[in-house]
Every structure is written in C-alpha cells, then in structure tokens.
Amino acid sequence: MDPKPPPPTEAQRLVYARTPAGEAEVGARQLPLSASARRLLVLIDGRRAVALLSNFVRAGELDALAGELLSHGLIEAIGIADLPDEVGRMARLLAEQTALQAAKRRLQRLFEAELGAAGHVWDARVADSVNLEVLRRVLREGVDVVFYRSGEAAARRIVAAVRPVFDQIRSAR
C-alpha cells in the first residue's frame, strides 16, 4: 500500500463559494477570464475544498486562478473543510480501485474490436490508467477517435460498456 500522504494544509482545506457577482458571471460571461479561471468558477460550489479542485486545473495553476477570481470579487472563502479521517480515505481509495478494475474489465479489447489493430494503443492506455480520472481522460479521447474512425454506433458501444461502472460510482456518492 502507498505510504500515507501528508494531511492537507489549511490553505488546501479552504472552501470557496461564488459571490452574487460570481453567480452572475457564470451566466453572463462578461469578464475577460481565462478558460481555466472560468472552469474553476463553474466548479466552485461552496462544498469542495481547494485540494479537491486541483484535479481540474493544470499543476501549479490553482493558486493563481483562485487569486484571479478573488480579485474580481467572484468567489469568497467561506470556511475550512474538516480533515479527512483515515478510515474514510482508505474506503474511498478501495472503492475507486474496485471501480477502476471493473471498468478496465468491461473495456478489455473493446477498442481493438472497434478500431482493429489501431485499437491496441487505446486498449493499452486503458490498461495503464492508474485511477478513474486518468481513465476518464483516456475514454474522452478514445471515444472521439472511435467516433471519427468507426462512427457513432461504435462510439456508443464503448460508452455503453463502461457506463454502468460510472453510474454506480455516481449513485454511491
């Protein structure tokens, strides 16, 4: 098992919420925000800690993007999230690994079936996915490739094969 990661710092545990100006900006899109800042603004919901939002931006960009949103008055810090307990963390890790393996089993050789020999690369990328977020990114790209090379029906077959796993994850939350 991996060594225990250090606990999140207080800054990583900050929880931001959109201000009324932030809510208006989500719909109006009037400020010259970068695409990354706009995406972060949409993701800020008043429940997730900053550390969880880091999965949705490039490494090292989170502080600058949050600063940009703060400077425009679009978000505000509303609290500090509790430290996660070790039992909960381990349970989430185990559940994610179980779901990842289930998704990999459902996708085994499916890209090869849809793309022929070219599908070997995509099957290998699925097999090499180390977590669900990486697998989601691989699937987004892979389904697009299948769509353009083999058509909508083939892309839908891949999505249908793995959808039950992701639906189960969503319902467990």
Give per-residue pLDDT as tens, 26-84.
Answer: 888 888 888 888 888 988 888 888 777 777 777 778 888 888 899 999 999 888 877 66
Check pLDDT > 50 for residue 116: yes
Distance, CA of 52 to CA of 68 (rounded, Å): 18
Residue type at 49 in one-letter notation: A
**Structure token digits, residue 34:** 């970068």
Using a CB cutoff of 8 Å and minimum separation of 24, what contacts does 33-38 make? 33/68, 33/69, 33/72, 34/65, 34/68, 36/61, 36/65, 37/65, 37/68, 37/69
* Residue 17 to residue 41: CA distance in whole angstroms: 9
Q: Is the pLDDT confidence value at 1 over 60?
A: no
Could you tell me what percent of the chain has a pLDDT over 90? 40
Return the beta strands (E) in the chain as ranges: 14-18, 75-80
76 - beta bridge partners?
Answer: 17
Structure-model confidence comparison of residues 83 and 106, the more confident one: 106
Tell me if 125 sits within 8 A of 94, measured CB to CB.
no
Mean pLDDT of the chain: 85
